[in-house]
């Protein structure tokens, strides 16, 4: 087998990231036929395809998933060699894919990405936002280089590092009967109408843990975004457990009230996820240091 070129590896990794040869060629500033040829030559040299075609998109097959981490490592080592050969005068360059669960991606993205982006303008940042389960799977599948999630994750292939503390609050409209009470008790929540996040999200799991110690209520609505739940509560559809960072603006202008619930433990830890097989080159290490 002839030596696989860095350009072929770049095409392979970029197609894996974007899902198509066309998108990869645009990102790499090359023609689509040239990108197709580079990918075909790579597959010819290794003796097997690395993608399967599903509904018009290229998706990694088992062979491709096996080779992707090594291909990324080789690209990053090649870039690090160039920086060292130049005396480390040039700044970091490349791309890093970050997966964030909904609370982090929608309300803490500045804290997550801002310091790194300011210090390393030559690195492109790609952000994907979904619930905790999907982000964890994305890190496992090498769709993301690093994940930042609000829920507990346990998988032998993932390293989980604590990032920062967070908490949920129970909120209602200011004219809700519970918001008018000076001191709430567990029994005051009997029969309440709840608006919850979708199953699989960390906010839903923590909400259910809280509801388990309260009298039975009714789930009237399930939504997949905290912002949608916030608007549903403002509209008077029910009460909800929401991340504190998500409701601060609505509380400040008087659209929501936070209900005092010292009898509920709504604390949690936001965590960083890393694949144990992922090569931790200069770009990834710099991103982790920025957190």
What is the mean pLDDT for each group of 10 consecutive residues in the chain (291 residues)?
82 88 91 92 90 83 88 83 69 87 92 94 92 92 91 92 94 95 93 91 86 92 92 96 94 96 92 91 91 91
Whether 6-86 shares its CATH topology with 167-267 is answered no
Q: Model's pTM, two decimal places?
A: 0.78
Check residue 4 and give its pLDDT: 85
For the domain covering 6-86, report its CATH number. Answer: 1.10.10.10
Kindly list the domain boundaries of the chain, sorted by start residue. 6-86, 94-164+270-290, 167-267
Check residue 11 and give its pLDDT: 92
167-267 classified as CATH 3.40.190.10: yes
94-164+270-290 classified as CATH 3.40.50.150: no
Check residue 107 and give its pLDDT: 93
Give residue 130's Cα distance to chain centre.
Answer: 6
Check residue 76 and give its pLDDT: 81
């Amino acid at each position: 087998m002839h030596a696989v070129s860095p350009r072929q590896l770049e095409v392979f990794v970029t197609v894996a990231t974007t899902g198509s040869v066309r998108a990869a060629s645009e990102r790499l500033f090359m023609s689509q036929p040239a990108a197709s040829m580079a990918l075909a030559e790579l597959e010819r040299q290794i003796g097997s395809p690395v993608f399967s075609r599903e509904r018009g998109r290229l998706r990694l097959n088992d062979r491709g998933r096996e080779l992707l981490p090594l291909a990324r490592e080789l690209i990053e080592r090649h870039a690090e060699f160039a920086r060292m050969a130049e005396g480390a005068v040039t700044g970091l360059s490349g791309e890093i894919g970050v997966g964030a669960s909904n609370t982090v991606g929608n309300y803490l993205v500045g804290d997550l990405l801002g310091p790194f982006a300011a210090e390393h303008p030559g690195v492109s940042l790609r952000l994907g936002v979904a619930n905790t389960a999907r982000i964890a799977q994305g890190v496992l599948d090498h769709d993301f280089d690093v994940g930042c999630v609000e829920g507990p994750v346990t998988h032998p292939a993932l390293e989980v590092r604590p990032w920062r503390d967070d908490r949920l609050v129970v909120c209602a409209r200011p004219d809700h009967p519970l918001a008018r009470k000076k001191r709430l008790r567990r029994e005051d929540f009997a029969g309440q109408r709840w608006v919850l996040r979708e199953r699989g999200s960390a906010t839903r799991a923590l909400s259910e843990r809280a509801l388990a110690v309260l009298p039975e209520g009714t789930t009237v609505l399930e939504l997949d975004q905290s912002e949608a739940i916030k608007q549903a509560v403002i509209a008077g559809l029910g009460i909800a457990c929401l991340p504190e960072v998500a409701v601060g603006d609505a509380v400040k202008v008087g659209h929501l009230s936070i209900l005092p619930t010292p009898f509920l433990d709504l604390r949690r830890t936001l965590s960083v996820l890393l694949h144990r097989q992922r090569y931790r080159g200069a770009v990834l290490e710099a991103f982790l240091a920025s957190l």
